[in-house]
């Protein structure tokens, strides 16, 4: 039985949401405000899948996400979350052939233009859905767009050399590349210091910090939330929701 939580979790990120038994709605019911989706170009159609096997049988992006979101936003009077203007971040990973897939995605988004946030340019406007591209998409592919549907998820190198938060509102890094801590005992002092400095750097640049491939353990979630990590990668939605609620803090 699904459980509906009244509190939105502004620091949770639904990892590979499309693999859930009930994609999209499980994350929304848990209060998560950022959702991850992987897409492929399959003969001119955008299909949602984790790996490129039997892609022709995988669901269409618009059927799994955009159509249900459009209906939900309409019924809520213009927002994803009822009586709350918090935007939903749809983080989309482009698999293979970025330029072609990006053109397909841009064309599809034109059908939902009223729902999509435009963060830059002459056509800048608020929308209930923010599109964030991940998967190593080049800045050159989006920086001169006439309609700026897209922002990018950057990596460690972007954080080191500095980013334009307008183009890179989020930085994502592999947990296993920076931490040996699995949740037993205290986090090692050097790893804790690196974490603090990295959070400070992200704050200075005005972008979110997220770690992927991190253990789904409450002790790690709590440590990272308390230290100020902006987005926690989550596979176990309800467990994370309860963890945040138990901390009696607005997350």
Question: What confidence tens digit (pLDDT) does each residue in 5-33 have?
Answer: 458 999 999 999 999 999 999 999 999 99
Contact 59, 48 (CB under 8 A): yes
CA-based nearest residue to 23, from 10, 36, 40, 7: 36
Residues 168 and 146 in one domain: no
Q: Give yes or no: residues 138 and 183 share one domain.
A: no
In a domain, 10, yes or no: no
Percentage with pLDDT > 70 across the chain? 96
Are residues 132 and 52 both part of a single domain? Answer: yes
Q: Is the pLDDT of residue 63 over 90?
A: yes
Same domain flag for 58 and 96: yes
Average pLDDT over the chain reads 93
59 and 87 belong to one structural domain: yes
Q: Which two tokens stand for residue 212?
A: 């992927």
Structural domain boundaries, residue 66: 33-153
DSSP secondary structure of 174-228: EGGGT----SSSSPPHHHHHHHHHHHHHHHHHT-EEEEES----HHHHHHHHHHT
Q: How many domains does the chain have?
A: 2
pTM of the predicted model as reported, rounded to 2 decimal places: 0.94
Examine the fold and report which residue of 101, 132, 153 is the final residue of a domain before the chain moves on. Answer: 153
Question: How many other CB atoms are found less than 10 A from the CB of residue 242?
Answer: 15
pLDDT the model gives residue 250: 56
Question: Final residue of a domain: which of 153, 182, 201?
Answer: 153
Interval 49-78 mean pLDDT: 96
C-beta atoms surrounding 156 within 10 Å: 14
Strands (E), the chain: 12-14, 34-42, 45-48, 88-94, 129-134, 150-154, 170-174, 208-212, 231-234
Q: Which of 104, 135, 153 is the last residue of a domain?
A: 153
Kindly state the average pLDDT of the residues 187-206.
Answer: 96
Same structural domain, 113 and 187: no
Band of the pLDDT at 248, cuts 50, 70, 90?
low
Q: Are residues 48 and 143 in the same domain?
A: yes
pLDDT at residue 4, rounded to an integer: 47
């Amino acid at each position: 039985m699904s459980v509906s939580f009244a509190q939105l979790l502004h620091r949770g990120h639904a990892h590979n949401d499309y693999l859930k038994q009930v994609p999209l709605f499980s994350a929304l019911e848990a209060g998560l405000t950022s959702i991850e989706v992987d897409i492929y170009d399959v003969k001119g159609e955008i299909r949602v899948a984790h790996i490129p096997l039997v892609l022709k049988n995988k669901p269409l992006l618009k059927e799994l996400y955009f159509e249900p979101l459009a209906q939900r936003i309409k019924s809520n009077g213009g927002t994803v979350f009822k009586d709350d203007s918090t935007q939903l971040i749809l983080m989309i990973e482009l698999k293979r052939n970025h330029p072609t897939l990006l053109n397909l995605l841009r064309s599809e988004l034109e059908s939902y233009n009223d729902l999509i946030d435009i963060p830059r340019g002459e056509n800048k406007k608020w929308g209930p859905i923010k599109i964030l591209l991940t998967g190593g998409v080049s800045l050159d592919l989006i920086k001169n767009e006439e309609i700026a549907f897209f922002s990018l998820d950057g990596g460690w190198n972007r954080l080191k050399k500095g980013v334009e938060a307008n183009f890179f509102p989020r930085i994502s890094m592999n947990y296993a590349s920076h931490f040996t801590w699995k949740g037993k005992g205290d986090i090692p002092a050097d790893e804790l210091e690196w974490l603090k400095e990295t959070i400070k750097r992200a704050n200075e640049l005005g972008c979110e910090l997220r770690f992927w491939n991190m253990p789904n353990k409450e002790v790690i979630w709590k440590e990272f939330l308390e230290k100020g990590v902006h987005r926690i990668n989550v596979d176990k939605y309800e467990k994370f929701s309860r963890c945040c609620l138990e901390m009696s803090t607005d997350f």
